[in-house]
Amino acid sequence: MKGILCELRLILRSRLSVASLLLLFMLAALAVLSGLREVASQHETLARVAPLNKQDLASVETRYPQDANGGYPAYYSFHNTWDPPSNAAFLALGMRDVAPYMLRIRALGLQAQLYEGETFNAELALPGRFDFAFVLIYLAPLFVIALLHDLVSGERQSGRLRLLLAMSDGKRLWRRRVALRYGLLLICLGLPALVGALIAGMAAGALAMTLAVIASSLAFWFGLSLLVTARGWRSSATATVLMSAWVVLTLVVPTLANVMLNRSIPVHQGVDLMLAQRQAVHGAWEIPRQETMQRFYANHPQWQDSAALPPTFHWKWYFAFHQVGDESVADQVRAYRAGLLQRQVWSDRLGWALPGVGAQAILHRLADTDLQAQLAYQDRIGVFHQQLRDFYYPYLFNEQPFGRQDYASQPQFTPREPSAYAFQPSAWGGLALAWLLFMLGGWQLAQLRPNQQ
Site for other proteins, rule CB under 8 A: 2-3, 6, 9-10, 13-14, 158-160, 162-173, 449-453
* 406-to-320, 382, 392, 396 alpha-carbon distances in Å: 21, 22, 10, 13
Is the Cβ of residue 176 or residue 289 nearer to other proteins in the bound state? 176
- Give min distance, CB of 41 to other proteins, in A: 45
- Rounded to whole angstroms, the Cα distance separating 442 from 179 reads 10
Residue 39: exposure state from Cβ atoms within 10 A (0-12, 13-18, ≥19): buried
Facing residues of 81 across strands?
A: 103
- Give min distance, CB of 447 to other proteins, in A: 11
Is the Cβ of residue 6 or residue 259 nearer to other proteins in the bound state? 6
- Give min distance, CB of 219 to other proteins, in A: 25
Is the Cβ of residue 171 or residue 337 nearer to other proteins in the bound state? 171
- Rounded to whole angstroms, the Cα distance separating 162 from 345 reads 50
- Give min distance, CB of 424 to other proteins, in A: 42
Q: Following DSSP, what letter does each residue of 139-171 receive, concatenated?
A: IHHHHHHHHHTTTTHHHHHTT-HHHHHHHS-SH
Residue 344: CA count within 13 A, CB half-sphere = 17
The beta-strand segments (E) located in 57-158 are: 79-82, 102-105
- Rounded to whole angstroms, the Cα distance separating 429 from 441 reads 18
Region at 402 (left for phi over 0; alpha for psi -120 to 50; beta for the rest): beta
Beta-carbon contacts of 212 under 8 Å, excluding residues fewer than 6 positions away, are 431
Is the Cβ of residue 104 or residue 171 nearer to other proteins in the bound state? 171
- Give min distance, CB of 247 to other proteins, in A: 32
Is the Cβ of residue 235 or residue 398 nearer to other proteins in the bound state? 235
- Give min distance, CB of 94 to other proteins, in A: 44
Is the Cβ of residue 3 or residue 382 nearer to other proteins in the bound state? 3
Is the Cβ of residue 334 or residue 449 nearer to other proteins in the bound state? 449
- Give min distance, CB of 7 to other proteins, in A: 8
- Give min distance, CB of 173 to other proteins, in A: 6
Is the Cβ of residue 244 or residue 447 nearer to other proteins in the bound state? 447
* 253-to-256, 390, 428 alpha-carbon distances in Å: 5, 48, 19
- Rounded to whole angstroms, the Cα distance separating 30 from 333 reads 39
- Rounded to whole angstroms, the Cα distance separating 109 from 381 reads 12
